Structure 1
Amino acid sequence: MRKFATIPPSIWQTDLKKLRGDIEAITIHYYLTTCSLSTMIGIYHLPVVFLAYETGLDPEGASKGLRRVCEAGIASYDEGTEIVWVHQMAATQVAPRLSPKDNRVPSVAKQLAALPICPITLDFYRTYRDAYHFADQPSLDEFERGFQGASYTLRSKEKEKDKGQEQDLGQGEGQMGSGGKRDTYTHARENEDQEFPYDPAKSVEEGKAFLRRLGLPAKFTDQALQRLMRGSLFPCDIENWKNEARELA
């Protein structure tokens, strides 16, 4: 059990606006953030029956509220393993990023290693892999293998999808015109200051174009592009590189 927890005031202007008017969902949200089973990284085992008991809601109401929280994109829940992930909890309770020598790195890794490998825990691993230096933690070797396997499968599917899109574009080229070009890279988040990682780019060229639009100094392009393609590039990374460039100028 955590000895303390923090609920930032900004929560009312971000996550909870999607739940306004739904008392059950708001109750569930605060319970997920502060309950006795919760961890500082926001991913932990939580049976719905326990959720209902502690909130005083009936099982149907608890399930409905949890579903609404998940539909709002605030959390994810795996019914098979009964694991919940409150998406921004690690960023607010720990930090958006940690230095490799921070004592919290092995602590976070230990908490994650205690959980079974499933889609939710792998998503958490992918999201914080670089920010929390998970790849350097021996306790997470199985997660790293699972991540690499998932990445290989995803890349294969993306190649097939890109090939199909190229064929579709070739067939519809006359309708678009010789100079027509769509900008389909709409991965920027609504609230980048909440430290969500940017969505992975669909191609290297789109990734480079996006980084240029962010004003990233050219010397950091390769490093930033690698993180972007893995889905682990944060807005704070861009700002840090900009500040570093200004200091060296």
Structure 2
Amino acid sequence: MIAAGCAAPQPMMLGGRTTPRDRVDLGVGGAARIPLGDLQPPETPDGDEQVLHYAESGGIAPIAWGRWGLADDWDLGLFVSGSVVRLETLGELRLSPFLRLIGGVMPYGGYARADVPEPATMSTRTSEGWRVGALAPIAIGIEAGGVFEGWLGARVGFEHADGSFGPAEMRTSGALTAFRGGLVLGLGLGLRRVHVLIELAADYEYWRGGIGEDDIERHGVALTPGFALRLRL
């Protein structure tokens, strides 16, 4: 969202399968968003660069989630990344005793606000905004004896961010819409109930919108590394 550089990385943390029936997965960790090329704003953004800086800045955010196994091949979950909450519905198709095809839909949304005093002007710079979007991943998952898990796949998604920033007497509004698609690779290692998960996603993103009277168009690659500890109850 267009709010004070509030990073909201979107890792998948799919695991090698959906959560088993009547079991619960709980996870906690962190993830980062690393914009590259044209997506990376300068350290001191100016003019239209501020929109991209506030809408999709780089940075690290805590992540946490819970997933409940509704059936042998379906689960439902809630995933939190920074100020964004994501609803997850995942299903699987068993291809072999160790191999599964995993897919789902993940709508999300969030709001953030930050008030930063500016001593030079004796004013307060307020940034606030919201974002909504969705991701649709599809991946091949591997699970071996409850010890090793791996997943490799792709995802597509869209996002809309809207908000405003600046001193109270000089507020500037902006809005951006993005489409993204990329690859996801993850690994998990542990015992039957506790696993350490690591993941890397790489997405190509296309952003279009504007701030005030200025039109904005940006595109490039963003990386999303993440790690977490998962407990299966």
What range is the shorter-chain TM-score in?
A: under 0.3
Compare the two structures and name the one with the higher helix fraction: 1
Compare the two structures and name the one with the higher strand fraction: 2
Q: Which has the higher contact order (CA 8 A, sep 6+)?
A: 2
User: Structure 2-normalised TM-score?
Assistant: 0.20
Which of the pair has more CA radius of gyration? 1
User: Structure 1-normalised TM-score?
Assistant: 0.19
